[in-house]
A and B are shown apart, each in its own frame.
Chain A
Amino acid sequence: MKKEKGNWKFFIIGAIVFVIFIFPLYWMVVTALKTQVEIFQIPTPLWPKDLTFDAFADQLSASSDTLRGFKNSVIIASGATVISTILAIPAAYGLARFKFSGRKVLILYFLMTQMLPSTLILTSLYIMFSKMGLLNSYLAPILADATLGIPFSIIILRTYFLSIPKELDEAAKIDGCNSITSFTKVMLPIAKPGIVVAAVFSFVYAWGDLIYGITFITDPNMRPITSSIYNYVQQYQTLWNATMAFGIIAILPVVLIFIFMQKYIVSGLTNGAVKA
């Protein structure tokens, strides 16, 4: 009986925390559905009294930057995810399953690269890409964004491979597999959930990138969506309903991923950061 009461107390505190925490997102949606007049009313209503989808309609019209930015981001983030995942899987496997000299150094090396500020390599990458003629192409942000996903994916996947019993490898070896076939035929299928988490993180990182996008791509037709919305705000300073509608479209993939993969994301985050 006493326990029940305690639960209610926690439930109420939890609900209050939830409301405060989620308010900015609520506000984004509400603002996108308001008219400009309502947004600047004093006091501004807490929900749209004059509900309108005009802001979304404008953002989704053919001439807007939004859909173009969305498409560019899909291409860039997918490209970065493919590179990052393909490279991270074998690396994580090698670092989890084999003891070799330099293994620890390699793990530290990947750990360190995860902590580097983008500004540190940005100028050199810019010069490098400009010499290679890659500026204003999708490849420049793809190559740069993959460096965000690789270390994190390796760390998550290594923990995953470590958790798979070693006997499985040995059984595969007895059945006549060598290192490579036991990796492709036995380990990869088992590691699928881990691989999905790593890929999702690489995608989310690349999708959220701003600094590489605004630096390597100046052509408005090629910009990723973060860069588009940034430039949109520079242009239409106080058009908040339109900006928020733009923002909602920009976060849509991440929100969907979050809704469907929440459990995996939480485990990935904690594995990547604590256990390393």
Chain B
Amino acid sequence: MKKRNHISIRAGFLFALPAAIYMLIFVGYPMIQNFILSFKNVDVYTFSDTAKQSFVGLANYTELFSGEEAILSTAIANTLIFTVISIFFQFFIGFGLALLFSKKFKGSSFFRGVTMISWLLPVTVAGLLFKFMFASKGGIINQLFMSLHLIDAPLEWLLDPKLAMAAIVVANIWIGIPFNMMLLITGLTTIPEEIYESSKLDGANKFQTLFQITIPMIRPAIMSVLTLGFVYTFKVFDLVWVMTKGGPVNSTELVSTYAYKLSFEQFQFSKGAAAANILFLILFVVGIFYIKLINDEEEVM
């Protein structure tokens, strides 16, 4: 018996090993390299000449935060605004739709299924589609607003620093709603029908049922959606890169797009690495929170 256990222990580990090694080579190692790189001075001049590369301590980080052209603080603020507003709307719309589509009515599963597609589309294409819809010339959003007499002249959505953020947030909300909806519907289906029936017998109205039964019972799903949503939104790159490239005048510059520009447009690889590490640090804190969350849940189950 003991021997068999021993074998099965080794077998389990061996089964998981190839994937673990692959991820170590192509994710773990680059992460460590990225960490080291961020303390060096690798740029377009020193890239191919390792002799000229040296450690510069925290110089890249301090420059990112306080250098003359540094916009990292702006990028972090933009990323937070982008994330919080996106999640706020994604969550509430997603929750509303989850409540609606968890009811059985004609067409409910069809409507629910089709809304899923925005989540699966390549973000690049979704971004271009929204770029077109927000275009000042030929864009349908301007036309809609003008026909409703909300505006008199076409707005330059993607060229006006104040409006560009709104445009990318709207696009991101459209992409993210199905994810919120599906996870919340799954949560809703775990609530036994009897609980609703007995609350009805007790004379609870719809709002009481929602706030005192539904929401507390799907709390784990809600927390999952919010933390995962935060992580996924905070690292968005493609959408913004395609729609605004961080512009105009850095008004939609996110940490991810800024890190990319540093590394692959200005070829300041070390600075780009440092910016990416800051992004990671923020996500790491939220990620720990999420993992603690699902661990607690697993113990309950």
Instruction: Spell out A's residues near B (CB within 8 Å).
Output: 6-7, 10-11, 13-15, 17-18, 21-22, 24-25, 27-28, 31, 39-40, 42-44, 83, 87-88, 90-91, 93-95, 97-103, 106, 108-113, 115-128, 143-144, 146-147, 150-151, 154, 179-180, 183, 204, 207-208, 210-211, 215, 226, 229-230, 233, 238, 240, 243-244, 247, 250-251, 254-255, 257-258, 262, 265-266, 269-270, 273-274, 276
Query: Does B16 lie within 8 Å of A94, measured CB to CB?
Result: yes
Rounded to whole Å, the gap between the CB of B35 and the closest CB of chain A is 9
Check if B130 sits within 8 Å of A24, measured CB to CB.
yes
Interface of B is mostly: helix
Choose one: B103, B117, B122; the contact of A10 (CB below 8 Å): B103
**Count of B residues near A, CB < 8 Å?**
96
Q: At the interface, yes or no: B61 with Cβ under 8 Å from chain A?
A: no
Contact A14 B111 (CB under 8 A): yes
Provide the residues of chain B in CB contact with A10, threshold 8 Å. 100, 103, 105, 108
Tell whether B52 is near chain A: CB-to-CB under 8 Å. no
A121 to B27, Cβ gap below 8 A? yes
Compute how far the CA of A154 lies from the CA of B20 in the bound complex, rounded to whole angstroms.
Answer: 11
> Is there an interface contact between B12 and A98, defined as CB atoms closer than 8 Å?
yes
| B34 and A120 within 8 A (CB) | yes
Contact A14 B101 (CB under 8 A): yes
Q: Is the CB of B174 within 8 A of A115?
A: no
Q: Which of A93, A123, A151 contacts B272 (CB 8 A)?
A: A123
> Given the complex, which residues of A lie within 8 Å of B277, measured CB to CB?
120
**Given A124-B34, A258-B116, A265-B120, A146 and B186 contact (CB-CB distance below 8 Å):** no
Q: B266 → chain A, closest Cβ, in Å? A: 12
B140 cross-chain contacts in A, Cβ below 8 A: 27, 44
Tell yes or no: B287 within 8 A of A by CB: yes
Q: Is the CB of B128 within 8 A of A211?
A: no
CB–CB A87/B280 < 8 A: no
* A/B interface sample: 6 pairs, CB < 8 A: A119-B272, A124-B34, A150-B22, A250-B125, A254-B122, A266-B116
Q: Which residues of B contact A120 (CB under 8 A)?
A: 30-31, 34, 276-277, 279-280
From A11, A109, A118, A125, B106 is in contact (CB under 8 Å) with A11
In contact, A21 and B22 (Cβ under 8 angstroms): no
Residues 31 to 80 of chain B near chain A (Cβ within 8 Å): 31, 33-34, 37, 47
Main DSSP-derived SS at the A contact region = helix
Binding site for A on B (CB under 8 A): 7-20, 22-23, 26-27, 29-31, 33-34, 37, 47, 97, 100-101, 103, 105-108, 111, 113-126, 128-133, 135, 137-138, 140, 143, 147, 174, 177, 179, 182-183, 186-187, 221, 224, 228, 231-232, 234-235, 237-238, 241-242, 256, 259-260, 263-264, 269, 272-273, 275-277, 279-280, 283, 287, 290-291, 294
Distance to closest chain B CB from A212 (angstroms)? 11
Which A residues are in CB contact (< 8 Å) with B117? 25, 255, 258
| Closest 7 pairs between A and B when the two form their complex, measured CB to CB | A98-B12, A94-B15, A124-B30, A117-B235, A91-B19, A208-B122, A121-B30
Contact A124–B31 (Cβ < 8 Å)? yes
Are the CB atoms of A115 and B287 closer together than 8 Å?
yes
A116 B27 Cβ-Cβ under 8 A: yes
Q: How far is the CA of A93 from the CA of B16 in the complex (A)?
A: 8
* Chain A nearest Cβ from B268, distance in angstroms: 10
Which of B22, B132, B186, B231 sits near A87, CB closer than 8 Å? B22
Q: A42 contacts B143, CB within 8 Å?
A: yes
A125 to B259, CA, bound (A): 14
Whether B108 contacts A116 by the Cβ 8 Å rule is no
Q: Judging by beta carbons under 8 Å apart, are A98 and B15 in contact?
A: yes
Q: Complex Cα distance A127/B97, Å? A: 45
CB of B100 within 8 A of CB of A14, answer yes
Q: B182 contacts A269, CB within 8 Å?
A: yes
Known: A116-B27, A116-B280. A127 touches B259 (CB 8 A): no
Question: Do A123 and B269 contact each other (CB < 8 Å), given the known contacts A10-B103, A179-B11, A243-B132?
Answer: yes
A207-B122 in contact (CB<8A): yes
Among A115, A154, A238, A243, the residue within 8 A (CB) of B231 is A115
Neighbouring A residues of B37 by C-beta, 8 Å: 123-124, 127
Q: Are B273 and A123 in contact (CB under 8 A)?
A: yes
Tell me the bound Cα distance from A229 to B10 in angstroms: 48
Q: Which residues of the partner chain B approach A243 to less than 8 Å between Cβ atoms?
A: 128, 132
Using A119-B237, A265-B116 as known contacts, say yes or no to A98 and B259 having CB atoms under 8 A apart. no
Contact of B122 among A11, A179, A251 (CB under 8 A): A251
Min Cβ gap B242→A in Å is 6
